[in-house]
Structure 1
Amino acid sequence: MNRTSTPPPVQRRILARELRRLRERAGLTGDEIKTRLGWSSSKISRIENARISVTEGDVGLLLDLYDVLPHQRERLLALAAQSHTPPSWRSYPPPVSEDFLSFMDVEAVAESIRQWEIGVVPGIVQTESYARHLVQSWRWVDANLTPREVEERVAIRMNRQSRLLPPRSAQIWLVLDESVLMRTVGNEVIMREQMVKLLDVSALPNVRLQVVPLAHGRGVTEESFTLLNLDKDNPMGQCLVYIDHNITNQFFLDEQRSIFFEKMFAILVGYALSEKASCELIARYARLGAS
């Protein structure tokens, strides 16, 4: 296979774009970087165009020149490390796809996570029982899925929830279609437990949770999507749009699509109930599950 025909990993593309942005913000040219670090001009160009991977050491040298804030440095170094030292979850076989592994890599370092969901409760806030029932349902299409693999995938979802709490907390904004609350996953006990967890999560200072009621049309979109930002103070600087079609996944990194999905998210927020009213609605569904 011709290596040049394979697109660079999502992580490398995000890192390349951010390094270019930081260099331009610092007012430095490629030639100035070349002089200060003793690199070739082609190396800088290849890094910023995601044509080659870059070591953590080289990223650190660039960030020193760009005078970045400590939290930005930490996240960019973590992103660089992921392309060289894959996390343990990469050992898992399908249906954990390579695209979803890349999504989790970026989710793990994002400062801001915004998600619109029309199907099920987002994995980052699922209970174990809710997640287990969903994963087990894959057996209808993959009879080879073993109990061990089910538990591994449930563990992945639970590990992702470290982004909810310090020291790894991100700013999380979830907008759910009301049908997510209505759709029974498992049984009433599982659903009530899940509703209670949503209420608990909504009380966290870094989480916003809203619901778009069925009474309000949502013709703007018929698919779920997630917006990931490495820097919450500069959302358009490095916005990753991720669309999970269950069987296939898509990443969008270009500015035009980022703007499009940013607008869609803003429209959906406008359709949604307030955070207080959303929690009251979720509480009603929790009481229905208890009856």
Structure 2
Amino acid sequence: MAMSPSEFLIRESRRRRVAAGFSQEALGERMNFSGSHVSSVETGQRPPTPKFLEAADEILETGGLLTRLYEDLVKADESPVWAREWLFYEEQAEALRTFESTAIPGLLQTEAYARAIFASGGLLTSEEVERRVAARMERQAVLRRENPPQFTAVLDAGALCRPVGGPEVMREQLLHIVEITELPHVRVQVVPKSAGAYPGLGGPFIIATMSDNENVAHLDHQVPGKVLVGGSDLTWILKAWEAIRSEALPHHQSIELISEAAEKWTT
């Protein structure tokens, strides 16, 4: 069976480490990563970030080989061995900050609301719709795990009145948000209609802050989203988050607005 680009990168990274006489622990120490981090990359359980590969290239004196392999081959690989890269960051995050301009954020969606989103337009088969709904519900476990991340969601007021799935689905969805904000680590804010034009109109995103204070962002698109690790694009997203949140109502005022909107959705 042919080796995928991501598998080739992993094999070459491991081969270069062994040839240089480093254990995983020793290499990690030189790179300012843990030995378990190096191990998880070499087993395909964790995606190698550009920062990781650049450090490995320098310590192993590869002449930039690993970074080139990633840039030239792996980024175009549709099925990397560390599939669903973003979910790793989301599950390991110390804090999550998400903004949605048109719908309820995925981590706050009810099953019925998510199903209505995925079923819209008839683009997916019923089996694919159910698979995606199940995956979204499973993903939400991050908010109820032991030692959950601090979670802050900002959404546009338009999402409160967009009829997704009908009145009953909308009322259940909005009441669910009110309920989940009773968790001490969950905060929700709403950008009111009076805000007019603001940076959030550029589209949704989510930011994960890791234990080492590294920030990673995920941009949602019609096609699979884009993960940002470092660089000017990530800096722009962090600035956009601050600008968006400055337009939002305070948490308690936002929850009052959501509760009022829920009561307007009557069957």
Taking structure 1 as the reference length, what is the TM-score of the superposition? 0.66
Give structure 2 stretches of 5+ with no counterpart: 48-77
Residues 184 and 7 of structure 1, relative CA distance in 2, 3 Å threshold: farther
Deviation of residue 105 (structure 1)? 2.6
8 Å Cα contact 1:82-1:105 kept in structure 2:
no
For 1:197, the equivalent position in structure 2 comes to 176
For 1:169, the equivalent position in structure 2 comes to 148
Deviations 1:97-133 (A, max 9, x none): 8798222232122221111110211111110100111
Deviations 1:146-192 (A, max 9, x none): 32222111110000111111326221110001111111101000000
Alignment partners' CA distance in 2, 1:248 and 1:221: 20
For 1:122, the equivalent position in structure 2 comes to 105
The count of corresponding residues between Structure 1 and Structure 2 is: 229
1:230 is matched with which residue: 189, 210, 226? 210
Identity of aligned residues (%): 28
For 1:27, the equivalent position in structure 2 comes to none
For 2:246, the equivalent position in structure 1 comes to 270
Deviations 1:190-224 (A, max 9, x none): 00000011111112111111000011124324211
What do you get for the CA RMSD once the two structures are aligned? 3.9
Residues 7 and 191 of structure 1, relative CA distance in 2, 3 Å threshold: farther
Residues 165 and 63 of structure 1, relative CA distance in 2, 3 Å threshold: farther
Taking structure 2 as the reference length, what is the TM-score of the superposition? 0.71
Residues 107 and 179 of structure 1, relative CA distance in 2, 3 Å threshold: same
Deviation of residue 253 (structure 1)? 1.4
Alignment partners' CA distance in 2, 1:243 and 1:7: 27
List aligned pairs for 1:106-185, cutoff 5 A: 106-137=89-120, 139=122, 142=123, 145-167=124-146, 169-185=148-164
Alignment partners' CA distance in 2, 1:215 and 1:133: 28
Residues 81 and 41 of structure 1, relative CA distance in 2, 3 Å threshold: closer
Deviation of residue 282 (structure 1)? 0.1
Alignment partners' CA distance in 1, 2:112 and 2:238: 32
Deviating more after overlay: 249-258 vs 261-270 = 249-258
Deviations 1:249-275 (A, max 9, x none): 222212433222111111111110000
Give structure 1 stretches of 5+ with no counterpart: 10-15, 17-38, 45-56, 87-95
Residues 184 and 6 of structure 1, relative CA distance in 2, 3 Å threshold: farther
> 1:226 is matched by which residue type in structure 2?
I
8 Å Cα contact 1:175-1:209 kept in structure 2:
yes
Alignment partners' CA distance in 2, 1:220 and 1:256: 16
Residues 224 and 185 of structure 1, relative CA distance in 2, 3 Å threshold: same
